Structure 1
């Protein structure tokens, strides 16, 4: 039986250098995404590459 997909319920707040926030904002706009969505994608890709999360093909 398949498990239901996870829901985005875990909040995360952080403080960034203004220069990092500006770069993040520009990168998200270039990808036409909100900052939160862009950060989630970047973190997911990084954590998968490091082996902390399973590959997308392993999740199904």
Structure 2
């Protein structure tokens, strides 16, 4: 299993609510959704290997 690190972020209440709704629609936790979105962004912009 890959080593993981925790990141804590603050977002407005409406962003959190939208993230919870989007995560539920994709059968994910909010943490899993955020990890996917961040990973996709980093790969697309050349910060992570594809």
The runs of 5 or more residues in structure 2 that have no matched partner are none
Select the structure with the greater relative contact order (CA < 8 A; seq sep ≥ 6).
2
Which has more helix, going by share of residues? 2
Q: Normalised by the size of structure 2, how large is the TM-score? A: 0.90
Count of residue correspondences: 50
Give the secondary-structure state (helix, strand or coil) at the position aligned to 1:7: coil
Aligned partner of 1:19 in structure 2 is: 14
Is 2:35 the partner of 1:40?
Answer: yes
The runs of 5 or more residues in structure 1 that have no matched partner are 56-60
Structure 1 runs of 4+ with >4 Å offset: none
Give the secondary-structure state (helix, strand or coil) at the position aligned to 2:20: helix
Q: Normalised by the size of structure 1, how large is the TM-score? A: 0.77
